[in-house]
Amino acid sequence: MTPWIRWTAEPAPAEPGWRWLAQSLGMPALLATPARPRAELALPASRLPDAARQKLAALLGERLRTDDEARIAHAAKADAASVLRLRGGDLSQAPDAVLCPHNEDEVLALLQICAEAGIVLGTTNGTARAVCDTSGMTDILSLDAVSGLAQVQAGIGSTELARQLAARGMSFGPAEFSYLGHRIGRNPEGVLDVRLATPQGLLSSSVLGSDFGILTAATLQIRALPAATLHLDYLFPDFASGFAAMRGAQRECVARISVRLSDGEETRFHRRLAAMTQTPTLMQRITDIVHGPGDGAAALRITISGGAADVETSRKRFAALARKLGARTWDGVTPHDYRPLLLDRGVTVDKLRASATWSNLPVLYAALRTALDQAMRLYAPRAGAHGLVLAQITDARHDGATLTCTFLFPRLLNGDVAQAQAVRKAALDVLAAQKQPAELRRAIGAVLDPAGILASDEP
C-alpha cells in the first residue's frame, strides 16, 4: 500500500515541538505541507488491454482491481521521491491494474497472461503497468513439527504467522515484518528454501532473490512455542558499545534472541519526538533529570525466548556483558511511524536498508552517514540547513545483521522530488558495492524472464 500519506488532517504537535525540530535541521521554521486533497486527484483510466483484462478477470474474478482506490494505493514506491510525487497529485506511477492472487497456480497463470500481452508486472508499488499484490497469500501450506519445518505462503505477515503457528504449538521468531518476502530480503536466516514463479515456470531456490520472479512460498525452520519470553531495554554509552553487546549476544545467549540497536541520533530523536507528541509522567520527568542519556547514548532492546532456564541464563549473561560495557537498564522508547507527521511539516523522510557482515557493518555505517550528511547539506534549501541520519541495526545472525538508515531533511519546496532523488542516490552509490554484479543479474534475468515483463524492485 502507499506509505506515509495522510489524506485527512490529524492533530499535530504544537509550535514549541516543531521549533525543536526546525533547530535540529538548521531551519528558522518548518512550514505546513499537507498532501494534496484526495478529492482533487484525477486518475487516468486504466489502459489494461481488453483481451488481457478478460483473461485476468476469468482467473481472479473480483481480485482483479482496476478501481481508483486500489490503483492509487499502489501508486508510489517506498522511496521519498515517489511519495512526494503522489502527495503533490502526480499519479503517473499508478498501475493500470492490481492483481491479487491467492495461490501459486494463480501467480503462474497471471504471469503467463502478462507475458503474452507484454504487460510489465511488478510486486512493488509504482514500478509497472500491473502490480501483483500477494497480501492475500497467507496460509501455512504444510507443517512438520517433528522436523521443525513449515512451508508458508509469501504474503503472510509476522503477526498472522505467529498466530497460526501458535495454534499448532510452534513459533518462527520474535522479529516483526510486514510480509514474509520482505523478511527474507532482509534476513534469510531460518529460511531453507523459497519458491519463485517466473515467466519460464516455477523455481525452488535458496539463493535467488525476488528480482528474478514472484516469491510464492518459503520453507522455514520453526521451533516449539517458547515457554518464556523476556523483553529488556538497555542504554549504552555509545553506538560502538551497543554494537559490541549485540555481537556478543550472538555468542553468549543460549536462548533465542532478537535485538534492535539504535544509534545515538535515533535514540535522541525518538526521545524528543515522544516528548513532543506525548505528555510525560512525573516519574519520567524525574528519570530524565537524574538518568538522562548522554548525547551519544544508544538504545538497545533485546527479546529473549525459549525454555525458562535458558531464558534466565541468557538474561544473566547479557546483563553481565551490558554492565561490562557501561550500559544500564531503562524504560525505553516505543518507536512509532512518524513519517506522515514530518512530511506534513516540510520534512522529507526516506529510508534505506542493507545487510552486511559484522566486520563490514561499522564501515558501511560510517560511509552511509558521511555520504548522506554531505548530500543533505549540498541540496539543502538554505545555507546552514542540514539533515539527520537515524541508524538502526536489526536481524542479527551468526555472520552479520541488517543496517537501516532513516534520513530526514528540510524540503526544497520548489524542487523536493529532485532533491530527494539526489540525496537517495548518494546513499545508493555507497550501497552499490554490496549488490550482486549487474552483469550476473542481467544474465540470470535473461534466462528466467526473456521478455522482460518483470519490473525490478530496485529504486
Q: What is the pLDDT of residues 93-132, one digit of tens each?
A: 899 999 999 999 999 999 999 999 999 998 876 668 999 9
- Look-up: residue for cell 554509552? 237
* 8 Å CB contact between 107 and 445: no
- Model confidence pLDDT, tens digit, residues 179-193: 887 777 666 778 889
DSSP letters of 271-304? HHHHHHHS---HHHHHHHHHHPPPTT-EEEEEEE
Query: pLDDT of 154-165, one tens digit each?
Result: 999 999 999 999
Q: Write down the pTM of the prediction.
A: 0.87
- Does the domain at 136-225 match CATH 3.40.190.10? Answer given as no
Chain-centroid distance, C-alpha 395: 12
Mean pLDDT of 442-455: 63
Q: Would you state the pLDDT for residue 430?
A: 94
Of 80, 145, 146, 162, nearest in space to 340 by CA: 80
**Domain residue extents for the chain:** 136-225, 228-329
3-state helix, strand, coil in the chain (%, to 5): 40, 20, 35
How many Cβ atoms are within 10 Å of 443's Cβ, its own excluded?
10
How far lies 288's CA from each of 262, 280, 392, in Å? 18, 10, 22
SS3 state of residue 458: coil
Q: pLDDT tens-digit profile of 258-270?
A: 999 999 999 999 9
Label residues 171-187 b or e (16+ Cβ within 10 Å = b).
Answer: bbbbbebebbbbbbbbb
Instruction: Classify 388 as helix, strand or coil.
Output: strand
Q: What is the pLDDT of residues 31-72, one digit of tens each?
A: 899 999 988 888 989 999 999 999 999 999 999 999 999 999
Q: Tell me if residue 309 falls in helix, strand or coil.
A: helix
Q: Which of 95, 93, 108, 97 is nearest to 57 (CA)?
A: 97
228-329: same fold as 136-225?
A: no
Residue 396, CA atoms < 13 Å, CB-side half-sphere: 25
Q: Which amino acid is at 225?
A: L
Q: 228-329: what CATH class? A: alpha beta
